[in-house]
Chain A
């Protein structure tokens, strides 16, 4: 890949890197710094990228390692999904799937995500938001494929259970689980 093509391809992944950076650092300014360091580091080691189609997973791997190296020993902050607490929160309607889609369970989703172990929270994020394959997640998280599979399975079960429990406590009807 020629240098300009490589740079264009790297820059295409800035949104993913910023999202991951914000999730890790909890701050937009720090996320920008982290993205900058990640891309500089990636450019210095661009010869190590064997498969250009794996660019995003490769960049996210570098970003995660840089962050962990810089914060070794400190627990990553809990991420806040963009949007935060909506001032126009809809009332529960009794249909769990629909409420999730409409955003009326936003706070519950935040709380459920925050309650997950970090590895599970990161795995579900990489799958659902960044849409990485299991193979790519395994590379980013530096773990076996089977571990990714079990992290995702446990994360989803815990999220569904957490949200359904809150939903039921509010007496808004059948959770359907």
Chain B
């Protein structure tokens, strides 16, 4: 009866149900009730009003994302061309991880979620600066711990912001590489996230896939998590 009211029956089945309904008041009443329940659900839900500000903001972000999504494909090929040797070396050194390598799933979810949300904001950074020293000083004053702020060649340092990872205030350094965003999360010393990073990268920097396709790479020298859709070898190289 349920599939009948949804129009999801084959013609033969439908004809059989219609024939039955013609002589069964109980089933006709059930059909009426089922339809009324659906109509009542729709009536009570109504149309969600979408604020024009939200739509405008999302449109801008999607167009920006569309532009940057086009980049990794080109970058990937360029990267393969120029750094085959580096990738081979990385494989030999064992820094390329097995796909089933374990980074705590809840932690991975948090990292990717903060990365996406951070860059989706109108102004992603609390401090906007491409000067590593200025960003380092801001982080130290804001969080009370020292971080190294790398600025690899060709990578744009955008600044930094604060977020909470596993309930603890964590510095997030924000970068772009040819429009592709990357966040480097540096958890505070003694935090559970630092312990996870150290465990994961105990034999050297390596990467894993996040829950929705972004990569999470963990460096060993300064325990930190980098999240981006950049190719793995490229992220590892940027973190060195």
Q: Using CB atoms and an 8 Å cutoff, list the residues of chain A in contact with chain B.
A: 3-4, 6-7, 10-11, 14-15, 18-19, 22, 32-33, 35-37, 39-41, 43-46, 65-66, 69-70, 72-73, 81-83, 96-98, 100-101, 103, 105-106, 109, 113, 124-125, 127-129, 133-134, 149, 152-153, 156-157, 159-160, 163-164, 176-177
How many inter-chain residue pairs (CB < 8 Å) link A and B? Answer: 151
Q: Indicate if B65 sits at the interface (CB-CB under 8 A).
A: yes
- Set of chain A residues within 8 Å of B3, measured between Cβ atoms: 134, 149, 152-153
Knowing A19-B48, A45-B213 are in contact, say whether A152-B62 is a contact too (CB < 8 A): no
Query: Beta-carbon contacts of B90-125 to A below 8 Å, as 1s and 0s?
Result: 000000000000000110010001001100100000
Complex alpha-carbon distance, A70 and B82, angstroms: 37
A175 to chain B, nearest CB (A): 8
A66, A69, A129 — most chain B CB neighbours (10 Å): A69
Q: Indicate if B39 sits at the interface (CB-CB under 8 A).
A: yes
Knowing A3-B63, A6-B66, A40-B116 are in contact, say whether A159-B43 is a contact too (CB < 8 A): no
- Contact check, A3 vs B58: say whether CB atoms are below 8 A apart: no
Complex alpha-carbon distance, A132 and B63, angstroms: 27
A53 to chain B, nearest CB (A): 17
- Contact check, B40 vs A109: say whether CB atoms are below 8 A apart: yes
Interface size on B, residues (CB 8 A): 47
Q: Indicate if B54 sits at the interface (CB-CB under 8 A).
A: yes
B127 to chain A, nearest CB (A): 23
**Closest residue of chain B to A79, judged by CB?**
B45
- Contact check, A69 vs B8: say whether CB atoms are below 8 A apart: no
- Contact check, A134 vs B33: say whether CB atoms are below 8 A apart: no
Q: Indicate if B194 sits at the interface (CB-CB under 8 A).
A: no
- Set of chain A residues within 8 Å of B35, measured between Cβ atoms: 97
B43, B62, B113 — most chain A CB neighbours (10 Å): B62
Interface residues of B in 1-49 (CB under 8 A from A): 1-3, 6, 8, 26, 29-30, 32-48
